[in-house]
Amino acid sequence: MKKINWTVVLAGVVVGVAALILSGLGNPANMGFCIACFERDIAGTLGLHSAAVVQYMRPEIIGLVLGAMIMALVKGEFRAKGGSSPATRFLLGALVMIGALVFLGCPLRMVLRLGGGDLNALLALVGFALGIFVGTLFLKRGFSLKRSYTLAASEGFVLPAVLLIAGALFLIVPSLFRISTEGPGSQHAPFLIALLIAAVVGALAQRARLCMVGGLRDAMMFKDFKLLYGFAAILIVTILGKLALGGLGWGKLTPFKLGFAEQPVAHSNHVWSFLGMALAGWGSVLLGGCPLRQLILSGEGNGDSAVAVFGMIAGAAISHNFGLAGKGGAAAAEAVSTNAKVVILCGFVILLAISLINLPKGAKKQA
């Protein structure tokens, strides 16, 4: 019965290759894709936060959503729905973002960082897995954010349309936006190429149901390893690509570098990387998928996921306005602020409350 799902493997390989290409064409190192970082950059370019080094209209986010939308429309899977605890999802999106930005990466970038040899991501992965495990304990006891309902088709097009218009405006009237002149926000692949690559990835991720949280979650809950193949494929392709292409010095791709010290856009505060990604993992399980998956589901017409994406953008703004994001390149002791530590710990309390409140009646006794 251990059949390998080749669609997922293919999607994983394509994500890995796409990330290598995007990094080679100018995206920050080990950041071919990073849903958290790129939504944070979009929050910055819109002026929702003032961190000058992380402001850019990332076409990858737009492409992922549009690619998933086109594929869902073609396959007859586009369906506008919503109404499953939207405010809670907004809050969860914000908390997932805050946790991810303490570590400096969404679950996808965590895999890309690992693939680049950044061992700081290893402890984050352990935290992430622990967060997912805690989330599955509540899923098993019947946790849900309640059902959604079919809505008018227009609901499903809100996020794709907003992103499309924002992207078009950015190209036509760039002076409206804040654009980083230094730092990660200033490093980016050419806009239209990145948009196209991301659209292909979005379409494939839609077919494969690719999800960084789903892989570990399904393995823990159902011994179903389907989605983990995607996770593994991304990691292997990244390692091989960084060794081969990075070693050859292709484009702006940095070579594979094993270790903890001086990793790009990273820090070595392991305790808080661990806790940040534990928060992101737990929150993502409650949302039903990782930040990438939320984008793909938004493209399929899921208004609840669109709300989660808006929540993540708001979370990014909060992160930078209150100094919660990890400081890349800083010494471990200075990389995570006191504010961030307080918010992460409060975040766990909030997740626990959401997890308990949304259990079915009587579940606590059964458990």
Partner 1 sequence: MVDARGYSCPIPVVMVQRAVKTDDPKSLTVLVDEQVCVENVTRFANAAGYKVTVSRDGDDYRMELTK
Q: Give whichever of 32 and 311 is closer to partner 1, judged by the CB atom.
A: 311
Do the beta carbons of residue 12 and residue 179 sit within 8 Å?
no
Applying CB under 8 A, among 34, 297, 318, 343 the residue interacting with partner 1 is 297
Distances (CA, A) of 274 to 29, 99, 165, 175, 354: 21, 9, 37, 39, 21
Only one of the segments 135-143, 172-180, 258-266, 348-356 lies at the binding site for partner 1 (rule: CB under 8 A); that segment is: 135-143
Direct distance between the N- and C-terminal alpha carbons of the chain, in angstroms, rounded to an integer: 31
221 near partner 1, rule: CB under 8 A: yes
d(CA 306, CA 108): 19
CB 104 within 8 A of CB 266: yes
CB of 144 to partner 1, least distance (A): 5
> In whole angstroms, what is the distance from residue 299 CA to residue 66 CA?
6
Q: Is 6 in the site for partner 1 (CB under 8 A)?
A: no
**DSSP sequence for 297-361:** HHHTTBHHHHHHHHHHHHHHHHHHHTT-S--TTS-HHHHS-HHHHHHHHHHHHHHHHHHHHTSPT
Q: State the minimum distance, in angstroms, from the CB of residue 309 to partner 1.
A: 15
Give least dist CB 81 to partner 1, A.
7
Residue from 214, 215, 264, 291 that binds partner 1 (CB under 8 A)?
A: 214
One DSSP character per residue, 20-31 reads HHHHHTTSPTT-
CB of 12 to partner 1, least distance (A): 17
Q: What is 191-224 written as a DSSP string? A: HHHHHHHHHHHHHHHHHHT--HHHHHHHHHHH--
Of 49, 58, 113, 209, the residue at the interface with partner 1 (CB under 8 A) is 209
Stretch that binds partner 1, among 20-28, 219-227, 323-331, 348-356 (CB under 8 A): 219-227
**Sole residue written with tokens 């899921």:** 302
Q: Least distance from C-beta 33 to partner 1, angstroms?
A: 22
> x/- contact string, 51-90, with partner 1 (CB under 8 A)?
------------------------x-x-x-x--x------
284 lies in the site for partner 1, by CB under 8 A? no
Query: Residue 330: is it exposed, middle or buried by C-beta count within 10 angstroms (0-12/13-18/19+)?
Result: middle
Task: Assess contact for 315 and 94: CB atoms under 8 A.
Answer: yes
Nearer to partner 1, 52 or 221 (CB): 221
Q: Helices (H), strands (E): how many in the chain? A: 17, 2
Binding mask 148-177 for partner 1 (x = CB under 8 A): xxx---------------------------
Nearest 10 degrees: Cα torsion 59, 60, 62, 63: 110
Q: Rounded to the nearest 5°, which phi and psi values hold at 118?
A: -75, 100
Q: Using the rule CB under 8 A, is 49 a contact of partner 1?
A: no
Helix crossing, 191-208 with 6-24: angle to 10°? Answer: 160
| H/E run at residue 82 | strand 81-82
Q: Which is nearer to partner 1, 115 or 214 (CB)?
A: 214
Min dist CB 139 to partner 1, Å, is 6
Query: Toward partner 1, which CB reaches closer, 99 or 288?
Result: 288
- Is position 302 an interface residue for partner 1 (rule: CB under 8 A)? yes
Which of these ranges, 116-124, 214-222, 252-260, 320-328, lies near partner 1 under the rule CB under 8 A? 214-222
Binder of partner 1 out of 26, 46, 142, 177 (CB under 8 A): 142
Q: Which residues bind partner 1 (CB under 8 A)?
A: 1, 75, 77, 79, 81, 84, 139-140, 142, 144, 147-150, 209, 214, 217-218, 221-224, 226, 288, 297, 302, 304
